[in-house]
Structure 1
Amino acid sequence: MDAVNLEEQAARQQLFTTLYQKVFPAVAKYVSKCGGSFDEAKDVFQDALISYYEKSHTADVTINSSEGAYIYGTARYLWIKRYKQGSQTKQLDDSSAYSIIAETEAAPSEDKLLHFLETAGKRCMELLRSFYYDNLPMTRVAQLFGFSGVRSATVQKYKCIEKVRDTVKQKALTYEDFLE
């Protein structure tokens, strides 16, 4: 190898090392949060890193974001794509078919769900019911509840959902806690 190739290889190695240290922790945290393993996070990150490197060294392609943002966004996209493909291609054998049937029979208890929705307050219950159960558009919800606009109604709906989430988190509840 000549000196130019060695310098180019060293520069590429340094770039990969820097990007790995800078971006991989965020990718690993995201994949872990979405139920993936550390090895899956490494695979997704490496695919995203290669994609970035190939695109950044192509003359006709311009990347309009920072290196880290591009790699992180690509890794997220790849993880979502991998996750969807994995859930669609799982083979069903007799035992898994039985467990799916059993899961559909164990429906969440409406009383338990309603109890946690009530912790958000009466107004929140009415707002959430109007949007999710009655399927009213946000413009109508804003009018009904006297909000200044759709944005205000959307923010309030989000706050109501967060109240319920906080209650569930405080009590460290899982899905099984809502089954009858």
Structure 2
Amino acid sequence: MNNLIRATAADREQLFIALYKSAFPSVARYISKMGGSFDEAKDVFQDALVIYYEKAAVGTFSIKTNEKAYLLGISKHLWLRKFKDNVLHSPIDGIDLAAVADEEDYSENKLMHYLATAGKKCMDLLRSFYYDRVPLGDAATLFGFSGVRSATVQKYKCLEKVRETIKQKSLTYEDFLI
């Protein structure tokens, strides 16, 4: 990094091109997942490059991983800060609350469908533990298990049934969001 300051303009340009090629695709993917555009990704990455260069010029930092990871971290931080600022200042006039509620109902119904594939006893056990916050000791008594360990094992088996169903259908987290 100290070499960055002493390098010629052509060497610095080559370094920045290499950093752009290696790190920018990861930053663009991250910002896209977070709802940002390609232009926003470019802006954030360029800001990250400026921060990287300024810190290298001052010589006040050391990178513990590599430049690509460091730039990705800076970019994530900048995006989250920008996203938070945008959310705090965005008007709510144009939001269709009925559509938001419909989307939530749809994803909830889809999730409930896959939970139901594990069976009624599993649904009741999972509901009592996760929704009603019944301690496993009480759940063991309630559901007729021999002890807490049996209830824990049964809860695990129920979750595995749901996971297996989701895996068989090749579902991802995003399938539950729409």
TM-score of the two chains, using structure 2 as the length reference: 0.65
2:72, 2:56 → 1: CA distance? 15
* Match runs of 1:74-153 below 5 Å: 74-93=74-93, 96=94, 99-100=96-97, 102-103=98-99, 106=102, 108=105, 111-119=109-117, 121-122=118-119, 125=123, 128-129=126-127, 132-135=130-133, 143=149, 144-146=151-153
Which residue of structure 2 lines up, in the alignment, with residue 22 of structure 1? Answer: 22
**Cα 1:104/1:13, change in 2 over 3 Å:** closer
Q: Which amino acid aligns with 1:169?
A: L
Residue identity opposite 1:145 in structure 2: T
Match of 2:144 in 1: none
Contact 1:26/1:72, CA 8 A, preserved across alignment? yes
1:146-161 counterparts in 2 under 5 A? 146=153, 160=162
Q: Deviations over 1:22-46 (max 9, x none)?
A: 1111111111122211101111111
Shift of 1:161: 5.9
Q: CA RMSD in A?
A: 3.9
Q: Is the 8 A contact 2:28 2:38 kept in 1?
A: yes
Three-state SS of the structure 2 residue aligned to 1:108 is helix
Distance change (3 Å), C-alpha of 1:64 and 1:167 = same
**TM-aligned CA distance change 1:166 to 1:30, over 3 Å:** farther
Equivalent-residue separation in structure 1 for 2:160 and 2:87 (angstroms): 29
Give aligned pairs, total: 158
The unaligned stretches of length 5 or more in structure 1 are 148-152
1:40 alignment partner in structure 2: 40
Deviation at 1:84, TM superposition (A): 2.0
Contact 2:114/2:165 (<8 A) preserved? no
Tell me how far 1:88 sits from its aligned partner.
1.7
Q: Shift of residue 124 of structure 1?
A: 6.5
Report the AA paired with residue 108 of structure 1.
D
Distance in 2 between the 1:88 and 1:160 partners? 37
Distance in 2, matches of 1:77 and 1:62, equals: 18
Q: 1:71 to 1:137 in 2, by over 3 A?
A: farther
Aligned to 2:8: 8
Maintained 8 Å contact 1:45/1:75: yes
**Residue of structure 1 equivalent to 2:66:** 66
Give the CA deviation at 1:104. 6.0
- Counterparts of 2:19 and 2:135 in 1: how far apart (Å)? 44
Identity of aligned residues (%): 39
Answer yes or no: is the 8 Å Cα contact 1:31–1:37 preserved in 2: yes
| TM-score between the two structures when normalised by the length of structure 1 | 0.65
Say which SS state the counterpart of residue 8 (structure 2) adopts: helix
